[in-house]
């Protein structure tokens, strides 16, 4: 994999935290520099780049370009979305403790606007669709269903959660940050109302770029209070006396984009689409299964699901002092990521089974010696 120079120096298994530096990303940032030098103020070009990034992400998740808005992070995207919510007879937000913490914090803040939050507690790091059903009420406004948990790679039955939630009259928001780029996503098949992801991890990009998907029939019903000039039909209108939101998902934008992240995001998205998400999903499933099986043979305990269908691109082994072990392994040439009680291995299409085995063996040896 000569496109990823770091792979010649280290075994990179931390895609769940940050993508490795790769040639296409470096070239995209060089392109950004050249455009600044050549044009000075390449505003029209940047607008085109944003449109290209939206188009690529829409292709990745099976959406229309006009259903996608760029944002700075999933936190910003969710804050913007919820700022458009009104809490009347339906004021309950149903979430879980498997969500990335930003979701829980943002939902709790909605209580200042009249919402009530119910949090499901996972058992053995898993939640079933039935668990959601038991807590759905006629007042449930929104259900959040993390696609793949960053704790242990548990992959939820999103389609079933959506079906049950819709039957109860609730909408569904899905955070797909740990799924986009390694799992086939089809928002039409999932029938999801809202979805977010970002380019920092498996999409081979940088911090500063995330996307919000809003189903096209919902868009006209929402007018976000967290807003900015790009949310309007005429962003350049000085002295506006009223809000005039864009007709499409652009109404969920705010201010000037992180342009270098847009360039890098395009490069990463193109790479993922060229390799093919179906191919990546199969490859990652094989690698994570091998990690679990080999780890078990060496006496390691994992909190990740053995069932391929319920496991994303993360395997978490329970270890002593996870962060200290992460640092130790890095010095040995293995890039991993600690989280909670576990040390996570997060392979991507560029990894091999041999790399997986060497990393797992290093973890097992470190546990034996500690």
Strand (E) or helix (H) holding 290: helix 277-297
> What is the per-residue pLDDT for 210?
98
Query: Is the Cβ–Cβ distance between 177 and 314 less than 8 Å?
Result: no
CA distance 119 to 9: 43
Pair of tokens at residue 64: 């229309």
Of 13, 282, 263, which is closest to residue 4 (Cα–Cα)? Answer: 13
Query: In the chain, which segments carry CATH 3.40.640.10?
Result: 24-273
> What topology does CATH give the domain 5-21+277-369?
3.90.1150
SS3 191: coil
Query: In the chain, which segments carry CATH 3.90.1150.10?
Result: 5-21+277-369
The answer on pLDDT for 1 being more than 50 is no
The pTM assigned to this predicted structure is 0.96
Average pLDDT over residues 58-65: 98
> What is the per-residue pLDDT for 8?
72
CA distance 86 to 91: 8
297-330: pLDDT as tens digits = 999 999 999 999 999 999 999 999 999 999 999 9
Q: What is each CA distance from 109 to 33, 79, 245, in whole angstroms?
A: 39, 10, 25
pLDDT band at 9 (very low <50, low <70, confident <90, very high): confident
pLDDT band at 370 (very low <50, low <70, confident <90, very high): low
Q: In CATH, what class is 24-273?
A: alpha beta
Average confidence score pLDDT of the chain:
96
> What is the per-residue pLDDT for 341?
96
Angle, helices 277-297 vs 259-275, to 10°: value is 80
10-45: pLDDT as tens digits = 999 999 999 999 999 999 999 999 999 999 999 999
227-273: pLDDT as tens digits = 999 999 999 999 999 999 999 999 999 999 999 999 999 999 999 99
């Amino acid at each position: 994999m000569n496109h990823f120079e770091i792979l010649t120096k280290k075994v990179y298994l931390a895609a769940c935290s940050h993508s490795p530096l790769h040639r296409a990303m470096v070239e995209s940032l060089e392109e950004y520099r050249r455009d600044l030098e050549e044009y000075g103020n390449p505003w029209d070009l940047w607008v085109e780049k944003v449109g290209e990034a939206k188009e690529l992400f829409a292709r990745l998740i099976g959406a229309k370009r006009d259903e996608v808005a760029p944002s700075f992070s999933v936190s910003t995207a969710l804050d913007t979305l919820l700022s458009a919510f009104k809490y009347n007879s339906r004021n309950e937000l149903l979430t879980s403790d498997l969500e990335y913490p930003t979701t829980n914090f943002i939902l709790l803040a909605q209580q200042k606007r009249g919402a009530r939050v119910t949090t499901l507690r996972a058992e053995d790091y898993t939640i079933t669709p039935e668990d959601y059903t038991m807590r759905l009420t006629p007042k449930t406004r929104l259900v959040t269903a993390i696609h793949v948990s960053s704790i242990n790679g548990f992959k939820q039955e999103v389609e079933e959660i959506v079906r049950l939630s819709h039957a109860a009259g609730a909408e569904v928001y899905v955070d797909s940050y740990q799924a986009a780029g390694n799992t086939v996503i089809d928002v039409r098949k999932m029938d999801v109302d809202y979805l977010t992801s970002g380019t920092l991890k498996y999409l081979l990009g940088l911090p500063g770029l995330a996307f919000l998907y809003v189903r096209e029939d919902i868009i006209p019903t929402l007018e976000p209070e967290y807003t900015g000039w790009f949310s309007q039909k005429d962003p350049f209108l000085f002295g506006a006396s009223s809000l005039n939101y864009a007709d499409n998902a652009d109404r969920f934008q705010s201010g000037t984009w992180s342009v270098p992240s847009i360039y890098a995001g395009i490069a990463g998205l193109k790479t993922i689409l060229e390799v093919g998400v179906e191919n990546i999903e199969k490859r990652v499933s094989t690698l994570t299964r091998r990690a679990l099986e080999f780890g078990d043979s060496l006496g390691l305990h994992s909190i990740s699901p053995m069932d391929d269908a319920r496991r994303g691109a993360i395997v978490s082994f329970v270890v002593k002092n996870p962060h200290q072990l992460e640092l130790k392994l890095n010095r040995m040439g293995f890039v991993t990521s600690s989280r909670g009680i576990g040390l996570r291995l997060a392979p991507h299409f560029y990894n091999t089974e041999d790399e997986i085995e060497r990393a797992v063996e290093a973890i097992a040896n470190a546990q034996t010696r500690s």
